[in-house]
Structure 1
Amino acid sequence: MGHDTVETPNLSFGRGGEPGRGTPYAQYVRLEELHSLQHPRSKEPAELSFIVTTQVMELLFDLLRHEWTQAREALREDDLTAALAALRRGTHVQDVLVESWDLLATMTPQEFNSFRALFGEASGFQSSAFLHLEFMLGNKNAALLNMYAEMPGTRAELAEALRAPGLYDEALALLARRGLAARPETSEHRYQPSEEVEAAWRRVYTDPEFAALQPLGEALLDVAERVTRWRQRHLTAVKRTMGGKPGSGGSSGLTWLRKSAEQDVFPELWTIRDEL
């Protein structure tokens, strides 16, 4: 074997912005900083699993938002191939998110209660990254912005997401441009099912002229199904660890989660199945 010199790239991503600290890998992924972010507040071993799982989910929320944004922009540009690729990548992220609940599946009520009081009113319901995804799905509610009154940057970002077209909005706009009378207008309120949209999707699945759009419908259903799986796993995890007690952030706990799990995402794609 030869003795060629391999040049190491000068990556300036170390903690605190200091170049040259640690290996190139540590610098690139900000390893030192990443592993310094877990601070359990109790001596309960299960708390570390709770913190790490929550942090991983937050990172995956950001990644999913990236993929859905790519898909939305591609739909806006009539690039169906790129949109489908982004949605496919996103479903892999969703699969990991769903399976992430396994890390908390065996936590007993005693373990959870041993540190629950230590994080006060903190709740996953307060996650701005998760709320951004909900807005992109059409589950919009302007009142939720009040949680971020003391975080003007986050509030402004979510307000923009509230006003912007969601993933489904852009899909329906594409259908309209292809000659289907789907509703393309954007709303700042929760999406409501439409007979017009249902008729448009029915034609996609029954009229050969629009058959090329069926992969989009199926890709959106893949997204919707995984959203439901996520909600169901969340419901089950909460039911197992804390039962029907109110949520730490003041939510109604199981009642709210159960209602959420029963709501179909992209509803017309489900209802047309009755007639196909």
Structure 2
Amino acid sequence: MISIKEVTKQTGLTVRTLRHYDHIGLLLPAGKTDGGHRLYGEKELKKLQEIQFLKSLGFSLKEIAEMLANEKHDWFSGLQSQLNYIIREKEKLEQMEKMVTGLMNQFTLEGKVDMQQIQQLIHFSQQNKFMREEFLQQQFKEDKKKLFDLLPNVNSSDPDTLEWVALLAQIKKHMAKGIESVEVQRIIRRLLEKDQELFAGNEELSNAFWEVRKSQEKSEMTGLYPIEQEVLEFVEAATDYFFKKEAERMGGES
């Protein structure tokens, strides 16, 4: 048998925790020394491992005591119940991750985060999935809908989304310089390259996307964070100017 201090070294538990387990009857020592110090044998150490395992799964000490005391305990049902709990908690954490990512991306876009923006992001991150799917079915054919799932989402941290966010943030930064500025036109060129990469030259799908994007209501229905109307109009005007200059350049070369 080994002493309580040796058990703490092997398990990482504190003496106080082991004393508490003894006090509530969860794990009784195998015996005690003449000086009154608790001693533990192989049987107790095995039970302690079971306690630590079940505790790591989120079971309470009371539940663990009942599970270990009842030889006919329905372990499968208990573990299934705990698995369901873990899945729900995982979904909550994933939702929180998306919300925090959305706030970070929104900070990149706006340069600030206020309570109104937080409320908006909560609203969009909790958007009813079935409502979104139904709207996409109405707006796009099945092949288009699948491609639409690849569109950037403010609550995502994938590289493509982060670049979209950065480009829109740069647009807002340089808007005062006008659509003809070198900085704005450089960003527009990259936005068009991103559009080409995303839609693979499918002009019909690209146009359908921008029609949705220009509508605050439709953007919300598809789970896209609405961009200010003035920014969208600025991007559209700057894009028209880009194509105009490209046509002039090509005409001059012919």
TM-score normalized by the length of structure 1: 0.25
Higher relative contact order (CA 8 A, sep 6+): 1
Which structure has the greater CA radius of gyration?
2
TM-score normalized by the length of structure 2: 0.27
